[in-house]
């Protein structure tokens, strides 16, 4: 024990310390990302070959198997073509006799001895009743090679062979295996029945059976995730214990007064979330909160109340949104909501005219503006605030980490509320956002009728338009979304224009049709949106520019063309444009998907309107290797852990990390060291 405490660092020596690793090999190993002896010991096999001797009657065609038998014919080596040869003989396994063929390994001839027992690894060819030999594992005279029933297979490269890697790993375990430390706190090890780090490492390379590998993997994955979660939880604790946040002491009576003037009563969920936010605003630490609410759950009004609270406390607030369209819509609706308060609300976007912009910047700097609503324009260098106390970021996933930071650095101890309508699957929420506090708005405002979703083929388009017409005749409005063309915005626009013409023709003068796409000028877009809001446009043909945030409660039909081109999260966002009012709404997916994945997506959409469920499914269908914005979100690449597949372990690790931090358990030097290693991997991403 004593020895281990002092010697664990020897594992972290450069790989060149290992006998047999010169500069050339070190270089090849470095290419595999291996710099220290410990790195080499953590170079785990990516799969295992099953070397257990199998029963000849239970093997399948093309399966790789190990067989044991007696050589019953003299081995024959025959050459054909240039340097091509085949070694073959018959092998008796009990009653059965099979053929064995080795290609281009003439040197094996001496090892095959008539009448002797031999153990072979190869691929079974059922039709030919032949084992296509890969290697000789053992023989009667020499059975030493066949000790392990599972053999590790490693990632290698041109500079270094599999076999060499395995030999080096063997060597490193021989010399340093006993020094592999166990960084995890004892409490966690006992609670999770972990086998211990060094044993787990060893079993990964030298497994005794598949079960052992499973348990070893669990230990190692848990460890990776625990170290990572511990880092996040410490950050959170640190933030919440330092008194450097701006305290926003608003008058509660006044705030209640404002809430009473809202055109509807807040839902219980909204009240709960607002309590959480207001508690943070009054506290001396900086708020860093993520508000997750499904589409249509009513996040804007929550943001509005928080901004009013901030203004009542004498601080400025800023709401940043990803599109001009949203800035326009939020500015309109929020101005209306706060019109009875004595507050100055301004809008700043990329299209704000120079003169007006200068005026706004002056008023911001002097503190005249209380609420600023805008796009990326709000974090530009020349924008300064008098006393910025609260930043709200709507549709936060549309912004990069740097952009969000730039805005919040425009004040000191600024409180941050990030909102997202793309429900973040829990997997991501507790990794990429693990350091933040979260609020969840789960219920929709009362009186909403669940949206019905139908998946139809293109041939049924006419019935769909008949349905659209009936809804419009009943006073409702509809969207038609043109197919997503990612490669070219020009094509995207052309497509939308074409569909606009087609739809206009289809309805002659019976319906007023509008068009919205990304190439239009901002005031044109604003005009179209105003007309749609006022029901002057009854049917809006649009590209995905309306994907996020747009709120027109009277719209009840969402038709999405070539719906299989969209991902689940995006479809859910688009569908969320309807079902926002008191009338029943419908979403029609028009699609003839060719892939299984596409069909699956259409079915899932018809089955569920739960954004959290959908985003988890989305993640599963796409896999964790392809999570939207992973690079941006700062999730490290783990050695073994896969946050989607290993979600259960992730939850355990997080739970334990929270316990560790709240119970103030002591950190050993070793634990600190391993956390730093993990953090290093994080910044590399």
Contact residues for ligand ADP (CB under 6 A)? Answer: 264, 266-267, 270, 293, 295-301, 421, 445, 551, 553, 580
593 scored as a contact of Mg ion (CB under 5 A): no
374 scored as a contact of Mg ion (CB under 5 A): no
Q: If contact means CB under 5 to 8 A according to the sort of partner, which of ligand ADP, Mg ion, none does residue 624 touch?
A: none
The window from 82-90, 206-214, 355-363, 545-553 that contacts Mg ion (CB under 5 A) reads 545-553
Minimum CB–partner distance for residue 298 and ligand ADP (Å)? 3
Distance CA 136, CA 121 (A): 6
Of 229 and 270, which CB lies nearer to Mg ion in the complex structure?
A: 270
Minimum CB–partner distance for residue 304 and ligand ADP (Å)? 9
**Angle at CA 545, nearest 5°, toward 544 and 547?**
60
Residue 290's φ and ψ, nearest 5 degrees, are -110, 120
Minimum CB–partner distance for residue 475 and ligand ADP (Å)? 17
Distance CA 201, CA 169 (A): 11
Of 423 and 593, which CB lies nearer to ligand ADP in the complex structure?
A: 423
611 scored as a contact of Mg ion (CB under 5 A): no
Burial class (CB within 10 angstroms; exposed 0-12, middle 13-18, buried 19+) of 584 = middle
Of 122 and 549, which CB lies nearer to Mg ion in the complex structure?
A: 549
Detail the DSSP E strand segments found in 561-655.
Answer: 586-590
Minimum CB–partner distance for residue 330 and Mg ion (Å)? 8
Of 115 and 447, which CB lies nearer to ligand ADP in the complex structure?
A: 447
C-beta separation of 324 from 275 below 8 A:
no
Q: If contact means CB under 5 to 8 A according to the sort of partner, which of ligand ADP, Mg ion, none does residue 297 touch?
A: ligand ADP
Of 245 and 576, which CB lies nearer to Mg ion in the complex structure?
A: 576
Count of residues near Mg ion by CB under 5 A: 1
Helices (H), 152-267: 162-176, 186-191, 197-205, 210-241, 252-260
Task: State the DSSP string of 79-131.
Answer: E-STT-EEEEEEEEETTEEEEEEEES-GGGGGG--TT-EEEEEEEEETTTTEE
3-class secondary structure per residue, 387-402: CEEEEEECCHHHCCHH
Q: Which two tokens stand for residue 402?
A: 């740097």
Of 51 and 548, which CB lies nearer to ligand ADP in the complex structure?
A: 548
- The length of the chain, given as a count of residues: 685
Using only C-alpha atoms, the chain has a radius of gyration, in whole angstroms, of: 32
Of 299 and 517, which CB lies nearer to ligand ADP in the complex structure?
A: 299
C-beta separation of 438 from 411 below 8 A:
no
First-to-last C-alpha distance (Å) of the chain: 36
Distance CA 31, CA 15 (A): 13
Minimum CB–partner distance for residue 447 and ligand ADP (Å)? 7
549 scored as a contact of Mg ion (CB under 5 A): yes
Of 308 and 644, which CB lies nearer to Mg ion in the complex structure?
A: 308
Of 196 and 553, which CB lies nearer to ligand ADP in the complex structure?
A: 553
Of 42 and 317, which CB lies nearer to Mg ion in the complex structure?
A: 317
Of 139 and 573, which CB lies nearer to ligand ADP in the complex structure?
A: 573
Distance CA 303, CA 242 (A): 25
Burial class (CB within 10 angstroms; exposed 0-12, middle 13-18, buried 19+) of 137 = buried
The window from 6-14, 311-319, 549-557, 639-647 that contacts Mg ion (CB under 5 A) reads 549-557
Minimum CB–partner distance for residue 30 and ligand ADP (Å)? 49
Q: If contact means CB under 5 to 8 A according to the sort of partner, which of Mg ion, ligand ADP, none does residue 185 touch?
A: none
C-beta nearest to Mg ion: residue = 549
Residue 568's φ and ψ, nearest 5 degrees, are -60, -45
The window from 356-364, 445-453, 543-551, 638-646 that contacts Mg ion (CB under 5 A) reads 543-551
C-beta nearest to ligand ADP: residue = 298
Q: Which two tokens stand for residue 457?
A: 């083929």
Q: If contact means CB under 5 to 8 A according to the sort of partner, which of ligand ADP, Mg ion, none does residue 289 touch?
A: none
Minimum CB–partner distance for residue 295 and ligand ADP (Å)? 5
Distance CA 3, CA 7 (A): 6
Minimum CB–partner distance for residue 445 and ligand ADP (Å)? 3
Contacts (Cβ under 8 Å, ≥6 apart) of 200: 194, 215, 216, 217, 219, 220
Minimum CB–partner distance for residue 499 and ligand ADP (Å)? 26
C-beta separation of 415 from 286 below 8 A:
yes
Q: If contact means CB under 5 to 8 A according to the sort of partner, which of ligand ADP, Mg ion, none does residue 629 touch?
A: none
The window from 468-476, 546-554, 634-642, 676-684 that contacts Mg ion (CB under 5 A) reads 546-554
Minimum CB–partner distance for residue 209 and Mg ion (Å)? 53
Applying CB under 5 A, the residues found at the interface with Mg ion are 549
């Amino acid at each position: 024990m004593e020895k281990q405490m002092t010697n664990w660092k020897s594992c972290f020596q450069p790989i060149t310390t290992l006998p047999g690793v010169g500069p050339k090999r070190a270089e090849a190993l470095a290419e595999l990302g291996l710099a220290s002896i410990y790195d080499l010991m953590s170079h785990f096999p990516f799969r295992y070959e099953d070397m257990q001797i199998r029963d000849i009657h239970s093997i399948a065609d093309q399966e790789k198997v190990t067989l044991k038998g007696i050589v019953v014919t003299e081995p024959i080596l025959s050459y054909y073509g240039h340097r091509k040869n085949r070694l073959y003989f018959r092998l008796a396994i009990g009653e059965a006799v099979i053929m064995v063929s080795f290609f281009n390994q003439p040197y094996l001839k001496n090892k095959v001895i008539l009448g002797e027992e031999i153990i072979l690894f190869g691929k079974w060819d059922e039709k030919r009743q032949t084992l296509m030999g890969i290697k000789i594992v053992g023989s009667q005279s020499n059975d030493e090679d066949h000790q392990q029933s599972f053999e590790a297979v490693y990632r290698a490269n041109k500079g270094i062979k599999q076999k060499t890697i395995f030999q080096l790993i063997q060597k490193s375990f021989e010399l340093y295996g006993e020094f592999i430390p166990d960084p995890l706190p004892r409490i966690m090890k006992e609670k999770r029945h972990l086998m211990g780090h060094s044993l787990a490492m060893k079993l990964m390379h030298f497994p005794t059976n598949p079960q052992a590998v499973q348990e070893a993997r669990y230990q190692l994955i848990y460890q990776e995730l625990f170290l990572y979660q511990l880092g996040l939880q410490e950050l959170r604790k640190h933030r919440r214990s330092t008194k450097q946040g701006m305290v926003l002491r608003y008058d509660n009576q006044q705030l209640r007064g404002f809430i009473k003037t809202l055109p509807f009563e807040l839902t219980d969920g909204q009240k709960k979330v607002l309590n959480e936010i207001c508690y943070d605003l009054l506290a001396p630490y900086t708020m860093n909160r993520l508000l997750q609410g499904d589409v249509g759950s009513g996040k804007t009004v929550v943001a509005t109340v928080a901004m009013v609270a901030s203004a009542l406390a004498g601080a400025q607030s800023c709401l940043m949104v990803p599109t001009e369209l949203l800035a326009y819509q939020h500015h309109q609706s929020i101005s209306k909501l706060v019109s009875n308060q004595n507050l100055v609300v301004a809008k700043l976007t990329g299209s704000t005219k120079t003169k007006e912009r200068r005026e706004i910047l002056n008023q911001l700097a002097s503190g005249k503006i209380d609420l600023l609503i805008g796009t990326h324009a709000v974090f530009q260098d020349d924008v300064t605030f008098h006393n910025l106390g609260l930043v709200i970021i709507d549709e936060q996933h549309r912004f990069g980490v740097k952009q969000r930071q730039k805005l919040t650095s425009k004040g000191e101890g600024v409180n941050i509320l990030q909102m997202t309508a793309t429900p973040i699957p829990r997997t991501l929420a507790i990794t990429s956002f693990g350091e933040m506090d979260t609020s969840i708005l789960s219920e929709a405002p009362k009186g909403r009728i669940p949206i019905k979703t139908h998946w139809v083929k293109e041939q049924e388009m006419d019935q769909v338009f008949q349905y659209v017409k009936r809804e419009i005749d009943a006073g409702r409005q509809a969207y038609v979304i043109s197919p997503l063309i990612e490669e070219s915005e020009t094509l995207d626009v052309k497509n939308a224009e074409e569909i606009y013409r087609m739809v206009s023709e289809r309805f002659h003068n019976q319906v007023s049709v509008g068009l919205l796409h990304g190439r239009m000028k901002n005031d044109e877009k604003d005009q179209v949106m105003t007309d749609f809001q006022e029901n002057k446009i009854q049917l809006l043909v649009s590209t995905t520019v309306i994907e996020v945030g747009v709120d027109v409660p009277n719209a009840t039909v969402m038709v999405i063309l070539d719906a299989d081109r969209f991902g689940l999260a995006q479809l859910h966002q688009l569908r969320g444009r309807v079902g926002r009012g008191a009338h029943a709404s419908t979403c029609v997916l028009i699609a003839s998907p060719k892939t299984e994945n596409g069909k699956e997506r259409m079915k899932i959409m018809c089955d569920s309107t739960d954004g959290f469920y959908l985003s988890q499914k989305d993640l599963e269908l796409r896999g964790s290797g392809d999570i939207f914005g992973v690079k941006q979100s700062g999730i490290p690449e783990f050695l073994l852990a896969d946050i989607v597949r290993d979600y259960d372990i992730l939850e355990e690790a997080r739970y334990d990390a929270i316990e560790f931090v709240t119970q103030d358990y002591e950190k050993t030097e070793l634990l600190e060291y391993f956390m730093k290693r993990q953090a290093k991997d994080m910044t590399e991403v």
